[in-house]
Amino acid sequence: MDIPRYEPATMLGSQFVIGEDASHLNWHAYATDDPPAVVKAFYEQAMGATTTPNNDDEGIWRFPPERPRDVLHVLPITADGPHQTFRDKWAASAKTVIIVAHMERRLRG
């Protein structure tokens, strides 16, 4: 799934995690000064409604919904989450974080 880039956002950093089952997750975090509702509206227009019901300040899209490989998460920058790893990298004016994750599952042989 190609997830469009929210142009006003700047990259905070990336991490790579390997699971116990040898699957791995690669995720990137971006920050923007725009409010979460504005960023969420951008992605709703570009990608449709969120795949997980949530509030005005948060949106989660999972592709494919039944067994996601790609996940987009928009949330307030002050919310708990893995993006807090990069707390020292975002501007004091940042309001929203965008997390884009891709999961590769281990092939069973």
pLDDT in tens, 17-58: 887 776 788 999 999 999 999 999 999 999 998 877 667 789
- Give CA–CA dist 61/54, Å, rounded: 11
Structure tokens at 57: 């300040």
Q: Residue 82: what are its φ and ψ, rounded to 5°?
A: -65, -20
Range list of β-strands (E), the chain: 10-18, 24-32, 59-63, 70-76, 96-104
Whole-model pTM: value is: 0.88
Strand partners, 91: none
